[in-house]
Chains A and B, each alone.
Chain A
Amino acid sequence: MTAARVGIGGPVGCGKTALIEQLLPELARLGIETAVITNDLVTDEDAERLRKGGQLPANRILAVQAGACPHTVIREDPTLNMAAADRLEAEFPELDLILIESGGDNLASTFSLDLVDWWMFVIDVAGGGDIPRKNGPGVLQCDLLVINKSDIAPHVDVDLDQMIADAKQVRGPKPVLAVSCRERSRIADIVSQLRRDVIFA
Chain B
Amino acid sequence: MKGAEFITALQMADSAFPAGVFAYSWGLETLLSDGQLGRRELETFAEAELHGRWHGVERPSLAGGWRADTLRALSDWDATVDVSMWSESQRQHSKEAGAATLIAAVRLGITGAREMRDAVRDGQLIGHLPCITGALYRGVDLSLETALLVSAQGFLRGLLSAALRLGQVGALETHAIAARLAPTVVQLAAPPALGSLPTGFSPMTDIALMRPTAARLFIN
A83-B105 Cα distance, complex, nearest whole Å: 12
A68, B165: Cβ atoms under 8 Å? Answer: yes
B99, A67: Cβ atoms under 8 Å? Answer: no
B218, A79: Cβ atoms under 8 Å? Answer: no
Return chain A residues, CB-CB under 8 Å to B24.
67
B1-42 residues with Cβ-Cβ distance < 8 A to A are 16-20, 22-25
Stretch of A21-29, A70-78, A143-151 that contacts chain B: A70-78
B100, A69: Cβ atoms under 8 Å? Answer: no
21 CB-based A-B contacts, threshold 8 Å: A42-B217, A43-B216, A64-B23, A65-B23, A65-B216, A65-B217, A66-B217, A67-B23, A67-B162, A67-B217, A68-B166, A68-B217, A72-B22, A73-B22, A79-B19, A79-B20, A79-B104, A80-B219, A83-B99, A83-B103, A114-B107
Task: Say yes or no: is A58 at the interface (Cβ < 8 Å to chain B).
Answer: no
**Contacts A77-B18, A79-B104 hold; do A67 and B25 have CB atoms under 8 A apart?**
yes
Return chain B residues, CB-CB under 8 Å to A78.
18
Task: Say yes or no: is B43 at the interface (Cβ < 8 Å to chain A).
Answer: no
B103, A41: Cβ atoms under 8 Å? Answer: no
Q: Identify which of A43, A69, A80, A83 contacts B165 (C-beta below 8 A).
A: A69
Return chain B residues, CB-CB under 8 Å to A64.
23
Return chain B residues, CB-CB under 8 Å to A80.
20, 23, 96, 100, 219
Return chain A residues, CB-CB under 8 Å to B216.
42-43, 65
Task: Say yes or no: is A82 at the interface (Cβ < 8 Å to chain B).
Answer: yes
A-B contacts counted at CB < 8 A amount to 64
Interface bits A79-90 vs B (CB < 8 Å: 1, else 0): 110110010001
Count the A residues whose beta carbon is within 8 Å of the partner chain — how many? 21
Interface bits A38-80 vs B (CB < 8 Å: 1, else 0): 0001110000000000000000000011111100110011111
**Which B residues are within 8 Å of any A CB, using their own CB?**
16-20, 22-25, 96, 99-101, 103-104, 107, 121, 162, 165-166, 215-219
A82-B121 Cα distance, complex, nearest whole Å: 15
B217, A79: Cβ atoms under 8 Å? Answer: no
B219, A77: Cβ atoms under 8 Å? Answer: no
Given contacts A65-B23, A82-B100, 17 further A-B pairs with CB under 8 A are A65-B215, A65-B217, A66-B23, A66-B217, A68-B166, A69-B23, A69-B165, A76-B18, A77-B16, A77-B17, A77-B20, A77-B22, A79-B19, A79-B100, A80-B20, A82-B103, A83-B103
Return chain A residues, CB-CB under 8 Å to B219.
65, 67, 80
Kindly report which residue of chain A lies nearest to residue B17, judged by CB atoms: A77
A41, B217: Cβ atoms under 8 Å? Answer: yes
B103, A79: Cβ atoms under 8 Å? Answer: yes
Return chain B residues, CB-CB under 8 Å to A83.
20, 96, 99-100, 103
Interface pairs A-B: 4 shortest CB-CB: A67-B23, A77-B18, A79-B100, A68-B165
Return chain A residues, CB-CB under 8 Å to B166.
68
